[in-house]
Chains A and B, each alone.
Chain A
Amino acid sequence: MTNPMAESELEAAFVGIAEIPSGRYPDRPFMGSLVQVAITAIRDAGLQVSDIDTVLLIPCLHSADDQADLIFSRVVEELGLHGRAKASAMLHSGGSSSDNITRTAAGLIASGQARNVLIVQAEKWGSAPVSDMVDMLSGYGIPREWERPSGLTFNAVGALITRRYMAASGSTAEDMASVCVALREWARLNPNAMYKDKELSVDKVLGSKLVCDPLHAMECPMLADGAAALVMTSAQHARTFTDRWVRIAGSGGCVSHYSIGQERDLATLGWKVAGEQAFNQAGWGPEDADLAEVYDSYAAVLAIGLEGLGLCKLHEAGRLFAAGEFSPGGRLPVNTNGGLLSAGHTGVGGGTALLVECVRQLLGRADDARQVPDPRRGVVGGTGGTYMDGQVLLLERVQKN
């Protein structure tokens, strides 16, 4: 199916972005972070706060109370939009929330039900007590009747996928560690990244403590605080106040499981089906992409995503990372913000940060050191829960004539 919105004046356009540094910031307030990135993104778009008519919230995971504030429109009141905003709603699909929320916003805009949409996210995972978060991540998205009794953890989910991927692809421990090293090289160029100041090597990764065999400590994502926002409007409206925006050329998705024990192939997941849908809709292929931003809470998750989306040959991603193909200066820039593994795992926001980075790169607004030269097309891949889905957005830069 081709993109029904192609060339339409009501086609959705990304016009503004914002992000604050990821890491441990215990003194940075949750609501304050949301307000800060919201206003920054709206100004980045060239709009006023009062122009926003729809607020879509990406959930936080650190606190049920804070999540309730998102659900019940506190952001609207904090921004002074109460009495004016048409809708405020949270949409939750874990790490793929930003992809699903973007498609929702695009639909609201295309059908004339929203004009200027603010999408906003903040998380305080990095400041929450670690043991509470381990317990949360042993229950969240893990079937309580069938899998919790075995003591399944989120790192074990990552380890199950990693071991299967290594067996299927013949990738070595060094190959897998090199994924983390490549992401760190990108993070070193990103002032918002949690690990912007720490170098990493394959030896360091493999020398770190074995947490859940085959995963070492430095192959597990570090929980972080962070916040990000996006502003979307129609192409018709965008051209009245800006010269450049980003459109959604195609999108696709596949929900492959709920329970990790029910995933038919841990080395495939939902990417292939999702990617084919998206590229068919866009009318271009993986070879046309100038950069890719694909969910990477574990190295194997990223390797499987790149392969499933056709961005490299099947079973080769690990070795290609080791050869520097996806590092700064390599063939295809991948996760140019450092990804979840090196920019920080901001809960549901890890996917949001990758989406924001793709839009930022296509708008040409990244810091010089990591700005991909003149990119036109980017691939965004997100996934939630125990990698229950593969969600793909194919983004394209639009330059006003």
Chain B
Amino acid sequence: MTDHASTPLTGPFYAALQRGELLIQQCGDCGAKTMYPKYACPSCGSADLGWTASAGLGTLHSFAVQQVGAPTGFEDDLPYAVAVIKLDDGVQLLGRLCPDARDGWDSYFCDMRVQFDATSDDGRHIAWFRAQERTSS
């Protein structure tokens, strides 16, 4: 697989992912947050773009569990679940869902709360999510 992840645009994002952090692009001029990262701010056109850390909390918009028919290079991943996550930061992205306690995805459902899973990265440029842990607060 060609590595498209080492460009000036993607490098900082994936380097952070490998450290267990989820970054979002933020405009230094208007403050707008952007995903996926862009070459110019889609809100004001500024090229003064930086990064801000996300708390990694959001809702699950939808997900799909690939059972067969993986692309070349992904065969050993089967089965796996891709998901569209709407972060509380106001941006969204495609990532993967960790298998649940029963080693499947039956406990997941649309609009449930999910959180970024910092422990799953193995340098493959995938943002992992799992069900949000309940807190007493």
Q: Assess whether B64 is in contact with A151, with CB atoms less than 8 Å apart.
A: no
Asked if residues A160 and B36 are in contact (CB atoms below 8 Å), the reply is: no
B19 within 8 A of A: no
* Shortest Cβ distance from B64 into A: residue: A159
Among the 9-residue stretches A93-101, A261-269, A289-297, the one with 4 or more Cβ atoms under 8 Å from chain B is A261-269
Is residue A240 within 8 Å, beta carbon to beta carbon, of the partner chain?
no
C-alpha spacing A304/B125, complex, angstroms = 32
Question: Which of B2, B5, B7, B69 is in CB contact (< 8 Å) with A155?
Answer: B69
The answer to whether A261 touches B71, judged by C-beta atoms less than 8 angstroms apart, is no
A213 touches B94 (CB 8 A): no
Decide yes or no whether A28 CB sits under 8 A from chain B.
no
Contact of A211 among B10, B67, B82 (CB under 8 A): B67
With A150-B94, A212-B67 given, name 10 new contacts (CB 8 A): A145-B4, A148-B1, A149-B5, A149-B126, A151-B80, A153-B66, A160-B84, A167-B109, A211-B67, A262-B92
**Chain B residues close to A by CB (< 8 Å):** 1-2, 4-5, 7, 9-10, 35-36, 61-72, 74, 77, 80, 82-84, 92-96, 105, 109-111, 124-127
A197 proximal to B (CB < 8 A): no
B55 to chain A, nearest CB (A): 19
Q: Which residues of A contact B (CB under 8 A)?
A: 131, 134-135, 138-139, 143-153, 155-157, 159-161, 163-164, 167-168, 209-215, 259-264, 266
Structural contact, A261 and B93, CB atoms closer than 8 A: yes
- Contact between A145 and B36, CB atoms less than 8 A apart: yes
**Please, which residues of chain B bring their CB within 8 A of the CB of A264?**
92
B74: nearest chain-A partner, CB-CB:
A151
B35: nearest residue on chain A (CB-CB)?
A: A262
Partner of B36, one of A146, A148, A266: A146
CA distance A150 to B4 in the complex (A): 13
Contact present for A150 and B62 (CB under 8 Å): no
Chain B CB within 10 Å, residue with most, of A150, A168, A211: A150
